[in-house]
Amino acid sequence: MDRKVVTLFSDSSFVTEGSQSLSPLNVAYETWGVLSETKDNAVLVLHALTGDSHAASHYEGDLVGWWEDLIGPGRAIDTDRFFVIAPNVLGSCYGTTGPTSSRGDGAIYGSDFPEITIGDQVTVEKALIDHLGVARLALVIGGSMGGMRALEWGYRFGSMIDELAVIAASARATAFQIGLSSLQIRSIELDPNFHDGRYFDFGVSPDEGLSLARGVAHLSYRNSAELDDRFANKTGNTRLEEGSFEVDSYLRYHGDKLTQRFDANTYIKLVRAMSKFDLGRGRGGVVAALSKISPKTIVVGVDSDELFHPHLQYEIAIGVGQNATMDLITSTVGHDGFLVDAKAIGEVLLRRSDVLNHTTIERLEATCSH
């Protein structure tokens, strides 16, 4: 892993959309490849809810990244050709300023960390891009929450972007998504160890609540048919006992696994940011906002996704209009297909992208040489 951290907004003020100051702030990020002399070969990769900057490995033996099958030498996002940047999002707990960070007085923010928005996160990402000296982005790509940020990038900074790739995302949070998020937040807040978000002061952590929240979320990340194929109503014992269903053990495992690497206040802040997302708010509505996105937009959905249903990706493609393409990858797993089946996403990108498609670039170079 080759994570770097830079301090931004030391000489200028960063104020959230909720009018709260967070200057200065740290941003963690990783890069692959080399920025060209013309500074226009950069690809910005945006992670999902509990992701981080480690989208791909840097060397043999390095930790495998969450989009390992998509990013690297000779892969769809070819690090031999592109300067790839993956920042950790504002409000997270992997190096960028968030609820686990220290304030100016040395105390940890905890629940006092301000409410943030997808727009706030993009503002910070733009500051990082400027800091790195990038003049133009060849591609901005993200999945799920990262796809929401990609759309915000396209709306606000489309003139500096060649292409967008929006994967398994939506231009607005739906009632179903908001409802699930609300239940997750309540499960954390009802944990006796939560203490109104000040659990650090008590030396405890609301692990049971966070585990339950992750279980609810993970259930929505998978496809119901896939879960039934794997677990049905099977139990781990010959007698039916409480908590002995195999699917329950599976969800507990994933919930407990998250508590070992993530923070509860962080989870709440990021989930709320997703719930508040509406690209069209204050911009004349979603349709009007999407129509203002100028870069070519590659929209990819997962055919079995029950959380970000494919109709939400069609809404994006239709709204952007003639500059957009729409594809569905086939996956049995549901929303998590944007991670599990990254190779299929890469195939779509190479077919649809003028920026990434080696064949197209080689043909153009050959044409120019005659």
Alpha carbon distances (Å) from 41 to 74, 84, 161, 329: 16, 8, 10, 27
ω before 114 within 30° of 0 (cis)? no
In terms of phi and psi (left: phi > 0; alpha: psi -120 to 50; beta: otherwise), the region of 324 is beta
- Among residues 294, 251, 273, the alpha carbon closest in space to that of 177 is found at 273
**For helices 264-276 and 118-131, what crossing angle results, to 10°?**
100
Q: Which of 54, 218, 309, 335 is flagged as catalytic?
A: 335
Indicate the Cα dihedral angle 121, 7, 67, 119, nearest 10°.
10
Q: 23 and 12 in contact (C-beta within 8 Å)?
A: yes
Q: Which of 92, 144, 211, 331 is flagged as catalytic?
A: 144
- Among residues 159, 69, 61, the alpha carbon closest in space to that of 350 is found at 69
Active site residue 182: no
Token digits of residue 332: 């049995």
Active site residue 218: no
Q: 286 and 319 in contact (C-beta within 8 Å)?
A: yes
Active site residue 187: no
- Among residues 142, 143, 145, 146, the alpha carbon closest in space to that of 302 is found at 143
Cα separation, 289 vs 294, whole angstroms: 11
Token digits of residue 194: 């939560």
Q: Which of 305, 309, 341, 353 is flagged as catalytic?
A: 305
Write out the catalytic residue numbers.
144, 305, 335
